[in-house]
Structure 1
Amino acid sequence: MFGDMMGMMNKIKETQQKVEDTKQRLDTVLIDESSNDNKLKVTITANRTIKNIDIDDDLLEDKEMLEDYLVLTLNKAIEQASKVNEHELAAVAKEGMPNIPGMDMFK
């Protein structure tokens, strides 16, 4: 009984380490998003850290339009990054779940 418990605890610790490793790896996964007319381009990591913003000179002349472009394009990029992030972390968590009867909610 204690062997099974120790095995499960080791599996949980191993999974926690894999989750941390995955989070670090997601800092290197870059997602590029741009406005429909390519006047604004953003690059963020899968951990939702902004790495770059490229703004067309035309947008610099209209503050309100630039703000709208930023909101729309950044939200699209964050949505994409969130999907990648959630998918990767869920895969690691599912892989590391011990086989406990009645606890198959992740399968």
Structure 2
Amino acid sequence: MFGNLSNMMGKLKEAQEKIEATKERLNTIFIDGEAGNGKVKVTVTANRLVKNISISDELTDKEEIEDYLLLALNKALEKAHSISETELAAAAKDGMPNIPGMDMFK
């Protein structure tokens, strides 16, 4: 009984380490978003940190810049969210012990 419990605890610790390593790796994955035919470009990490914003000199209208910026950021953040969810779920599933009746990641 205690051997199995000890093994499960070790697996849980391993899963936690995999998740943390995945979170660190997500900081190195860059996602671009753009709007206004490339007049506004943003780059975010898969951990949803904004790394760069580029606004074309062609844009001079404040409201237009704001609208394009929102569109570009939302596109990039949506992609980042999807990548992050997929990667973290895979890391968690790979490291979880096989506990009967606990099929959390189907």
Aligned residues, how many? Answer: 106
Fraction of identical pairs, as percent = 61
Counting only pairs closer than 5 Å after superposition, residues 27-42 of structure 1 correspond to structure 2 as 27-42=27-42
Secondary structure of the 1:32 match is strand
CA contact (8 A) 2:34 2:71 kept: no
> 4+ residue stretches of structure 1 with deviation over 3 A?
none
CA-to-partner distance for each residue in 1:80-107, whole Å, 9 max, x for gaps? Answer: 0000000000000111121111111313
Which structure: greater helix fraction?
1
Correspondence for 1:3: 3
CA-to-partner distance for each residue in 1:22-77, whole Å, 9 max, x for gaps? Answer: 10010000011111511011111000001111111122x10000000011110010
- Structure 2-normalised TM-score? 0.96
- Structure 1-normalised TM-score? 0.95
The question of 1:96 aligning with 2:95 is answered yes
Runs of at least 5 residues in structure 1 that lack an aligned partner in the other structure = none
Counting only pairs closer than 5 Å after superposition, residues 50-89 of structure 1 correspond to structure 2 as 50-59=50-59, 61-89=60-88
Secondary structure of the 1:101 match is coil
**RMSD over aligned Cα, in angstroms?**
0.9
Correspondence for 2:14: 14
Runs of at least 5 residues in structure 2 that lack an aligned partner in the other structure = none
